[in-house]
Amino acid sequence: MTSAPARLPDPASTTVVVRELGHSDYLPVWEAMRRFTDARTPDTTDELWFVEHAPVYTLGTNDRNEPFDNPGIPVIKTDRGGQITYHGPGQIVVYVLMDLRRRAWGVKLLVRKIEQAVIDLLADHGIEGQRRENAPGIYVEGRKIAQLGLRIRHGASYHGLSFNANMDLEPFRRIKPCGYAGLETIDLAQLLGSAQRLPSGLQPQLLASLLKNLDYLSTHNR
């Protein structure tokens, strides 16, 4: 009795377009994500957008709108999950525009896979990254190094991951990051210390880890 042939992966679900957006304000990129998600069809290729934002606080759909000492940084209320966070220079932001229905994935699985990509990246630098129950993101010894917030619309995801690479962390100290009072943040540069330089290939390393964990087999750069 012969066994049935193995089912090959759907090329549409294993291919991704990678876009390098460079430095950009938050609002136009958010608006572009919404337009992309609303316009996509079952045949639209998934995309990963890499960007570094100008300083901005963003409020998620669960934000409590608590006042804080704002030094004049713009505040934008968004449609992602979670509460308040900060984006700024020296932080790698990756927006994950994925058709979840095509993969039959739930949002919890997507969150786990994005988190695992960060854990694997940190492990490559000898650092143990950890999850925290009911608090998406990755932590190192209790300090948060990666923030994660998503929106699912028409069965597809947008928003995504921000990874603290080498940045001014002071704006985080003015807020309750992700709603947690006293939560400390950290970046990779501080964890590596003065003995090591921040790797120049950090963004390609993060991309490679995301491609592996999100099961993408081929990429197109735009």
Residue 193 has pLDDT above 60, yes or no: yes
Whole-number CA gyration radius for the chain: 18
Tell me, what's the pLDDT at 134? Answer: 80
Query: Which DSSP string corresponds to 169-217?
Result: -GGGGGS-GGG-TT--B--HHHHH-TTSPPPTTHHHHHHHHHHHHTT--
User: Mean pLDDT throughout 177-200?
Assistant: 78
All structural domains of the chain with their residue ranges: 11-62+70-221
pLDDT tens-digit profile of 97-140?
A: 999 999 999 999 999 999 999 999 999 999 999 999 888 899 99
pLDDT band at residue 1 under the 50/70/90 scheme: very low
Q: Does domain 11-62+70-221 have CATH number 3.30.930.10?
A: yes
pLDDT tens-digit profile of 69-82?
A: 898 999 999 999 99
Q: Residue 160: in which H helix or E strand, if any?
A: strand 156-164
pTM of the model: 0.91
Confirm whether 10 is a catalytic residue.
no
Identified catalytic residue from 111, 165, 175, 178: 178
